[in-house]
Structure 1
Amino acid sequence: MTMTERLDVNPYGRVTEPATLVIERLLPGPASRIWSYLTDGEMRRKWLAAGSMEEKAGSTFELVWRNDELTDPPGARPEGFSEEMRMTSRVLEVQRNKRLVFTWGETGEVAFDLKAEGDEVLLTITHRRISDRANLLMVGAGWHMHLDILSAHLDGRRAEPFWDGWLKLKDEYDRRLPA
C-alpha cells in the first residue's frame, strides 16, 4: 500500500485537547531509519533542527533551527523570524525506534511515536502545552511543513520552499483550528 492509497492518515494536525496538537505522517521505513532522523543531530538538521542529543532520559540538548537551509530556495522568511533560533530541551523518555519524548522549551512537551505498518512507519507527533492559539497556528504549520520536508527527503523528492509552504499552512491552520 502506498502513501497515496492510505486515506485515513490526515496530513493536517488536529487539536485533541486544549493546547495539544497531534500530527501523523506515514513514512517509508524501517522505524530505525525514521529514528535516526529524530535523534541524530546531522540527520535531524536536514528536516527540522540541528543539535546533538544523548538518547538518555534526563539529558539536555539544544535544538538549532536554520529554516533557510532546509530547502533550496528557502522562500521569503517572514518579518520577525531570525536566521537562527535556539531552544534548550531535556529528554524525558526513550524507547529506541518506538518513542522519544522531550521538553519543548520551558513549558511544552513533544512526543514522537513510531509504529511499523508494513514497509512504512506511522510517525505520530504529540505537542503538548502550546501557550495560545497564535502559537498553535505557528506550531501546527511548522510541524506540518517540517514533516513535508522529511517526507520529501525520504522519498528523494524536492520539497516546496520552506517559508512559502509554512505561510500557506499557517493560513490553512487558521481556517481549520477552532478559535
Structure 2
Amino acid sequence: MLAIVSQNGEGYMARFERVFTAHSVQQVWAYLTDNELLPTWFPELRVGELREGGCMRFLMPDGGDALEMAILDMKPESILEYAWGEDVVRFELYPEDVGCRLVLLEKLSKLTVHTPKDLAGWHVCLDVIGALLDGRTIENRKAEWERWYGQYQEMLAGGLG
C-alpha cells in the first residue's frame, strides 16, 4: 500500500504504516536503533547518540564525512524522530494484540522531483525491515524501488492521495 501524502499548513506529510503481526515492539525498535541491524535495511544510516538532542549519522557512499542529523524526539521503544535534510522523519511504534504497528511520518517542507524517489526509498526500506523480521530477504531492492517509484510519481502527478 502506498504512503498517504497530504498537505498541511507547513508543507506536506507522508504517512506509511506497517503491521508486523509476528514481531514485538522491541524487535522492530532494534531495527531502527541498533547499529548492527540498521545497515541491513539502510546501509548508510547509523545511530550516533540515541537520545533527544543526540544524532543519527548518514554515512556518505563516497566515504566522505558523515552527515549528522539531530534527534528531535526519542522515547525508547516508542518514538524516534530526526532531521532529514530540510525535512523530518518520525517513527512511531505501537504494541498490538498480536505484534507491532509501525508508523513512519515524513514531514516534507515541499514536494520536489526528488520526493517520489524518497517515498519509494522509505517504502522499500519498510518492506525490507518486514522481510528481515520474517527471516526473508528482498533479492532485488532496486527493482522493488523502481516499481514503487513509478507509482509514487503517478500519485504525485495526479494530485495528493
TM-score range, shorter chain: 0.7 to 0.9
Structure number with higher strand proportion: 2
Matches within 5 A, 1:24-63: 24-27=17-20, 28-48=22-42, 49-63=44-58
Q: How far apart are 1:118 and its partner, in Å?
A: 1.8
Matches within 5 A, 1:4-153: 11-17=1-7, 18-27=11-20, 28-48=22-42, 49-64=44-59, 87-105=67-85, 107-153=86-132
- Does structure 2 conserve the Cα–Cα contact (< 8 Å) formed by 1:53 and 1:60? yes
TM-score, normalized by length of structure 2? 0.84
- Does structure 1 conserve the Cα–Cα contact (< 8 Å) formed by 2:17 and 2:101? yes
> In the superposition, relative to structure 1, how do residues 173 and 85 fare at CA in structure 2: closer, same or farther (>3 Å)?
farther
Q: Secondary structure at the match of 1:153?
A: helix
Letter of the aligned partner of 1:58 in structure 2? Answer: G
TM-score, normalized by length of structure 1? 0.76
> In the superposition, relative to structure 1, how do residues 149 and 124 fare at CA in structure 2: closer, same or farther (>3 Å)?
same
- Does structure 2 conserve the Cα–Cα contact (< 8 Å) formed by 1:130 and 1:136? no
- Does structure 1 conserve the Cα–Cα contact (< 8 Å) formed by 2:131 and 2:138? yes
- Does structure 1 conserve the Cα–Cα contact (< 8 Å) formed by 2:91 and 2:103? yes
Equivalent residue pairs, number: 153
- Does structure 1 conserve the Cα–Cα contact (< 8 Å) formed by 2:56 and 2:82? no
- Does structure 2 conserve the Cα–Cα contact (< 8 Å) formed by 1:39 and 1:53? no
Give the root-mean-square deviation of aligned CA atoms. Answer: 2.3
How far, CA to CA, are the matches of 2:141 and 2:124 in structure 1? 7
Moved more, 15-24 or 127-136: 127-136
Q: Structure 2 stretches of 5 or more lacking a match?
A: none
Which position in structure 1 is the counterpart of 2:151? 172
Letter of the aligned partner of 2:17 in structure 1? Answer: E
How far, CA to CA, are the matches of 1:84 and 1:122 in structure 2? 35
Letter of the aligned partner of 2:90 in structure 1? Answer: A
- Does structure 2 conserve the Cα–Cα contact (< 8 Å) formed by 1:42 and 1:50? no
How far, CA to CA, are the matches of 1:31 and 1:63 in structure 2? 24
